[in-house]
Amino acid sequence: MPQYKAPLRDIQFVMNELLDTETHYQHIPGGEEATPDMVNAIIQEGAKFCEQVLSPLNQTGDQEGCTLENGEVKTPTGFKEAYKQYIEGGWPSMTADEQLGGQGLPGSLSMVMSEMVGTANWSFGMYPGLSHGCLNTLEAHGSEEQKQTYLPKMISGEWTGTMCLTESHCGSDLGIMRSKAEPNSDGSYSISGEKIFISAGDHDMSDNIIHLVLAKLPDAPKGTKGISVFVVPKFIPDENGNPGERNSVSVGSIEHKMGIHGNATCVLNFDGARGFLIGEPHKGLNYMFTFMNIARIGTAIQGLGSAELAFQGSLEYAKDRQAMRSLSGAKNPDGAADPIIVHPDVRRMLMTQKALAEGGRAMIYYAAQQADIATRGQDEDARKEADELLGFLTPIAKAFLTETGVEAANQGMQVLGGHGYISEWGMEQIVRDARIGTIYEGTTGIQALDLLGRKVLMTQGESLKRFTKKVHLFCKEHGDNKQLAEFIEPLAAFNKEWGDLTMKLGSAAMKDREEVGAASYDYLMYSGYGVLAYLWAEMAEVAQRKLEEGTAEEAFYNAKLQTARFYFKRMLPRAKAHADAMISGADNLMDIQEEHFAF
Amino acid sequence: MPQYKAPLRDIQFVMNELLDTETHYQHIPGGEEATPDMVNAIIQEGAKFCEQVLSPLNQTGDQEGCTLENGEVKTPTGFKEAYKQYIEGGWPSMTADEQLGGQGLPGSLSMVMSEMVGTANWSFGMYPGLSHGCLNTLEAHGSEEQKQTYLPKMISGEWTGTMCLTESHCGSDLGIMRSKAEPNSDGSYSISGEKIFISAGDHDMSDNIIHLVLAKLPDAPKGTKGISVFVVPKFIPDENGNPGERNSVSVGSIEHKMGIHGNATCVLNFDGARGFLIGEPHKGLNYMFTFMNIARIGTAIQGLGSAELAFQGSLEYAKDRQAMRSLSGAKNPDGAADPIIVHPDVRRMLMTQKALAEGGRAMIYYAAQQADIATRGQDEDARKEADELLGFLTPIAKAFLTETGVEAANQGMQVLGGHGYISEWGMEQIVRDARIGTIYEGTTGIQALDLLGRKVLMTQGESLKRFTKKVHLFCKEHGDNKQLAEFIEPLAAFNKEWGDLTMKLGSAAMKDREEVGAASYDYLMYSGYGVLAYLWAEMAEVAQRKLEEGTAEEAFYNAKLQTARFYFKRMLPRAKAHADAMISGADNLMDIQEEHFAF
């Protein structure tokens, strides 16, 4: 397994030089305290923990996996101790409300930590990650009593949480779920049903596990408008707030799955478990969606993390492994062969990973900055605009970065040849772990419909225009800079085409609703390449400026320019294929009859 | 795990209607006996065996894997018995020389069986598959005595074989291998060295295992010109030809790997093992290459098989699983939701797999027909032309079909959503198994260099022209057919561009050798989309003709046309991205310095 090394220089580049996080934090309540020195210290400390504690548990966690003993899940050796250190480091409380025991730092800062945790050990990171989603929902929609009961212990990390949505017959379509909630005389509810695919559904790392469970009340309307959300603690807190009576929720089994073996994916049986309604009846799905954007950005991190870790592992191998001679003459004449990094096709695979890791980082931090403003911005207009921009970026970041994260992981594995396929090297684990990213928290197909249907077409293209306007202004500002023409020109052309294609799809969809679904995947991938092109052009502009100003880090900025160039020359052209496919019409998908797919 | 169902109608379509195998077989010695009735009976029988015996062992084989007990490999439960049935069915001897006990049928017929075996259970299929490669090499280059000693038992399947090439420090670059062969006084050699990644390296299914081992003689020239090949039997045959003395080759370990768990990937230690030189000293690599083209087509089958099995599994699920309503109105109003096959994006994933499986089948059978002619054609010119055409198609089929096979497997898994990630459904196994395809028998990068460097540029484009001429004639012949214009026009345009781009790359390579490696991957993928476009256009032409002539199978031929249309509209455009990337120059890969990939 590659030993993770936090890419601190690049993290700084995106935070400070691309996104000017220092200024940004000054405008966010709680952010004033996040001075550059403090931010730096936090990231350094986090990096150390991820490199030294979490990274060594990544491969062992995969090999050992989780086990179910006497109805309780046992996490892989070392996870429990690592989680203890994670709590002691104060990481769960970093961005939580100060009045509930949190440190009140901006949410985007926790994204940086999430990136490092997730890259070092994704399976581990899912335990606090899921907890975070549960906590956010309780914080926004729970009663004061519920908040006081659960949040301080969840913020401290003593208790963790889950989100229980999926049932065996329904995932994307939660409207048809069967779990039931019957009101009890004391105001609580009896929850019954089987939930599957519950990440971190049970484990031995915390004193209590707080399940958020979607279920239907007896009088529930049909479909998604009849879903309520309940808090169902594994141990019902006693009068002192300590874990009390064991609730009747039990682990049916741990799923055997392709990857993320270090995280327990549970079947949970709720057998008349005591639950407490959150907010109003039948509003459950809305409550879930409140924080879905941020949760999905959290999942997008998996794509970035897969690309980063695969890049680190394959880069090290490519410098070390010797095979064949460079076509342009021996580069290591004293050795038996040249290191494979001299070969252009190996470089193509490395650069693809690099462009996706660094570009993905820029995309996620950019989105996280919008999330800061959307949740804590002082100005109503700014909050609204940031929220809408985040809504536009979220499905792109989630689906595009997890799809390309799988690609990057596969490229990393491919660099190692046969050794990549062998478990010992750890590269195939990255592929197996990454592969869930395009599925959970809404599949790529669901994100694509969300983007094209809900976000773009339902706003008559307004959400797209909000973004393309930014791109347009950037292109205009630097249109005279000849050094940047290789980036600005194709970006400006792309930006125009983006609008044109969207208009075309809008018209087509007016005539045939199926056109939306038929175009959605390609539209999303196309948009992903566009957002990344904008960010790479922005990064190139920063690098170009630094080089012109004079810098002691010429190599760093040159590498940025070279990676931007690689992206524009070798990756952005893929968008053309998506453009052609998206406007090719729904007929080539819908004409074939269901029974004629196979004979 | 999807229960495999041999796609007999499609196999017949490609064999009979696309490739006119009946006429083809009449011109191949041994083929006269392969009458349509006989071919049909063989395929039916093979299909039954694959469906009933091999398919049920696919998932259990993955879960149980191979184990090493007291130095001997134990294959998963049922493999040994299945192999016995495989021998009893006469499958190993189908295409072997009649004088050595074979049935002398054309090689292309065994490809059909290989497809069915490999799709039903790839791990199983590798045991006889590797044996076949060993057998072919011995048949072509072994002495008469060696042939008599080994071939009859290998042809009957009582003994199996391996190919021992890779060492831990070298795979693609065999020139730097370290295994040694010291001459003994009796004319044999003492072979010493460690070989890794030996598929089917040891097992309990046959009485003896015949290893072909690459090693260097004491006086060997440096590099690939100093490699000799030796036959090293696990048990040295006694005077009666039966397994005798145990040779000093031992299994160091079984590799833990991502997939193909049912096949033992061994570390083999040769500790002064007795070996016998094949052919002349130092010619080993040439001998290996003799049958590499056919062996690589064999590996290409894995891509097709992955696409086919993923397609079968995801199609069944998509018809059954219900989620959401069709955007154009409920299609299953009495149910809680519509089957997901109504959704265009699900259809996109299904059609992608279908186009790759059926197109891949056409590509492999087409190549196999060339292999028939190249090895057994009666006319010297035809043999030469077929051999060169096969040489051109081989790296494309191997790399393009395994790359797209991985894509198809991932699409199949994606259709199942979360269930795709769970082992129980068997879809994630297809992804894990498929993933080795782009690595072994020469990685995609190696195939790409072979195609662009050796096959195309070294022949001044002749090998490409041989193929594009066929495409050109086809386009000319059907240029007036308006019904086919949607296929012929883009195909003709592609065909012209293919030549132009190749010329461009040829010029660029004259100035800078790195341009070859920098363009090779994209050139290969581009060429793959081109070959597939040609075959899909040919298939569309057949279907169109049948529909015009009148047929009772309208639905079948319509589906062919619809799939061809999908391919041209939604997949062929990807070639544009590869075209742009391949001519973008080597600089965007080579300019960045080795030490500046990461900071």
What is each CA distance from A221 to A54, A186, B16, B327, B472, in whole angstroms? 46, 24, 57, 21, 63
Q: At A576, is the secondary structure helix, strand, or coil?
A: helix
A130-172: per-residue pLDDT in tens? 999 899 999 999 999 999 999 999 999 999 999 999 999 999 9
Q: At residue A582, what is the residue type?
A: M
Indicate the residue of A311, A328, A417 with minimum beta-carbon distance to B513: A328
Query: Could you say which of B7, B319, B576 has the minimum Cβ distance to residue A576?
Result: B576
- Please, which residues bridge with residue A214 across strands? A229
Parallel, antiparallel, or unpaired for β A208-215 and A159-164? parallel
Give CA torsion, residues A213, A218, A222, A223, to 10 deg: 0
Bridge-based pairing state of the strands B243-246 and B189-199: unpaired
- pLDDT confidence of residue B225: 94
Q: How far is A376 from chain B (nearest CA, A)?
A: 34
The alpha carbons of chain B give a radius of gyration, in whole angstroms, of 24
Q: Are B273 and B231 spatial neighbours (Cβ–Cβ below 8 Å)?
A: no
Q: How far is residue B551's CA from residue B132's CA, in Å, rounded to a whole number?
A: 40
Side-chain half-sphere of B468: how many Cα atoms within 13 Å? 19
Region at B159 (left for phi over 0; alpha for psi -120 to 50; beta for the rest)? beta
Contacts of A117 (CB under 8 A, 6+ apart): A46, A50, A54, A91, A124, A125, A128
Check: CB of residue B127 under 8 Å from CB of residue B158: no
Instruction: For residue A342, give every residue at least 6 positions away whose Cβ sits within 8 Å of its Cβ, in sequence order, or none.
Output: A326, A331, A332, B594
- Taking only the tens place, the pLDDT of each residue in A573-599 is 999 999 999 999 999 999 999 999 999
* Residue B552 CB partners (closer than 8 Å, separation 6+): none
DSSP output for B264-295: -EEEEEEEEEEEEE-SSTTBHHHHHHHTHHHH
Beta bridge partners of B199: B265
Q: How many CB atoms lie within 10 A of CB A253?
A: 12
Nearest residue, CB atoms, B418 vs list A440, A558, A585: A440
A56 secondary structure, DSSP code: H
B60 and chain A in contact, CB less than 8 A:
no
Cα–Cα distance measured from residue A366 to residue A371, given in angstroms and rounded to the nearest whole number: 9
Name the DSSP letter for residue A479: T
Tell me the one-letter amino acid at B510: M
* Cβ of residue B320 closer than 8 Å to a chain A Cβ: no
Q: Which residues contact A3 (CB under 8 A, 6 or more apart)?
A: A51, A55, A56
Residues 6 or more apart whose CB falls under 8 angstroms from that of B409 comprise B306, B307, B309, B310, B427, B430, B431, B433, B434
Q: Are B134 and B162 in contact (CB under 8 A)?
A: yes
State the amino acid at position A269 in one-letter form. Answer: N
Q: What is the pLDDT of residues A473-493, one digit of tens each?
A: 999 999 999 999 999 999 999
- B439 touches A at CB < 8 Å: yes
Residue whose tokens read 């299609």? B331
pLDDT at B30: 84
Instruction: Tell me which residues of chain A have a pLDDT lower than 70.
Output: 290-291
Cα separation, B491 vs B481, whole angstroms:
14
Q: Looking at CA atoms only, how far is residue A236 from chain B in angstroms?
A: 30
What pLDDT was estimated at residue B527?
A: 98
Predicted pLDDT at B292: 75
Distance CA B166, CA B127 (A): 18
| Other CB atoms within 10 A of residue B38 CB | 13
Nearest to B264 by CA among B202, B340, B210: B202
E strand segments, A12-140: 67-69, 72-74
Instruction: Please answer whether residues A398 and A442 qualify as being in contact, where contact means their C-beta atoms are separated by less than 8 angstroms.
Output: yes
Structure tokens at A204: 């031995």
Is A435 in contact with B428 (Cβ distance < 8 A)?
yes
**Spatial distance between the Cα atoms of A16 and A24, rounded to a whole number of angstroms:** 10
As a whole number of angstroms, the distance between CA A394 and CA A397 comes to 5
Q: Give the C-alpha separation, A191 to A188, whole Å.
A: 10
Residues A58 and A262 sit within 8 Å (Cβ to Cβ): yes
Q: Tens-of-pLDDT digits for all 599 residues of chain B?
A: 899 999 999 999 999 999 999 999 999 988 988 999 999 999 999 999 999 999 999 999 999 999 999 999 999 999 999 999 999 999 999 999 999 999 999 999 999 999 999 999 999 999 999 999 899 999 999 999 999 999 999 999 999 999 999 999 999 999 999 999 999 999 999 999 999 999 999 999 999 999 999 999 999 999 999 999 999 999 999 999 999 999 999 999 999 999 999 999 999 999 999 999 999 999 999 998 766 777 899 999 999 999 999 999 999 999 999 999 999 899 999 999 999 999 999 999 999 999 999 999 999 999 999 999 999 998 999 999 999 999 999 999 999 999 999 999 999 999 999 999 999 999 999 999 999 999 999 999 999 999 999 999 999 999 999 999 999 999 999 999 999 999 999 999 999 999 999 999 999 999 999 999 999 999 999 999 999 999 999 999 999 999 999 999 999 999 999 999 999 999 999 999 999 999 999 999 999 999 999 99
Instruction: Return the residue in A348, A423, A505, A572 with the most chain B beta carbons within 10 A, the one to mutate for interface testing.
Output: A348
Q: ipTM > 0.85?
A: yes
Sort out which chain A residues have CB atoms less than 8 A from B440's CB and list them.
418
* Residue B178 in contact with partner chain A when CB distance is under 8 A: no
- Minimal Cα–Cα distance from B106 to chain A, Å? 27
Number of H helices, E strands in chain B: 21, 11
pLDDT at A292: 75
Do A559 and B596 make contact, defined as CB atoms within 8 angstroms? yes
* B272 vs A: CB within 8 A: no
- Non-local (6+) Cβ contacts of A16 within 8 A are A22, A36
Partners of A215 in the β-ladder: A228
Nearest to A498 by CA among A575, A416, A428: A575
Assigned token pair, A558: 């040159």
What is the C-alpha to C-alpha distance for residues A356 and A405, in angstroms, rounded to an integer? 7
Residue window 556-575, chain A: list those with CB within 8 Å of chain B: 556, 558-559, 562-563, 565-566, 569-570, 573-575
Question: Is residue B532 classed as helix, strand or coil in its secondary structure?
Answer: helix
Q: Which of A348, A516, A576 is nearest residue B327 as measured by Cβ atoms?
A: A516
Could you give the CA distance from residue B62 to residue B426 in angstroms, rounded to a whole number?
10
Q: What Å distances lie between residue A566 and A558, B330, B592, CA to CA?
A: 12, 46, 10
Looking at residue B221, the DSSP 8-state letter turns out to be: P
Q: Please give the structure tokens belonging to residue B598.
A: 């990461």
What sign does the dihedral A135-A139-A145-A148 (CA atoms) show? positive
Instruction: Supply angle C-alpha B587, B592, B594, rounded to 5.
Output: 130
**End-to-end distance of chain A based on CA atoms, in angstroms?**
45
| Contact call for residues B61 and B431 (beta carbons, < 8 A) | no
Please answer yes or no on whether A324 and B172 come within 8 Å at the CB atom: yes
Tell me the residues of chain B between 323 and 342 that have a Cβ less than 8 Å away from chain A.
Answer: 323-324, 326-328, 336-337, 339, 341-342
Q: How far apart are CA A54 and CA B174, in angstroms?
A: 38
Q: Is A303:A402 a contact under the CB 8 Å cutoff?
A: yes
The DSSP bridge pattern shows strands B208-215 and B228-233 to be: antiparallel
Which H or E run contains B405?
helix B380-415
Rounded Cα distance between B89 and A280, Å, is 68
Residues in Cβ contact with B271 at an 8 Å cutoff, skipping those fewer than 6 apart: B192, B248, B249, B250
Q: Residue for token digits 């050094």?
A: A483
Distance from CA of A318 to the nearest CA of B (A): 10
- Report the chain B residue with the minimal C-alpha distance to residue A511: B328
3-state SS of B358-387 is HHHHHHHHHHHHHHHHHHHCCCHHHHHHHH
Name the residue facing A577 among B170, B443, B576 (closest C-beta): B576
Residue B156 CA to chain centroid, in angstroms? 23
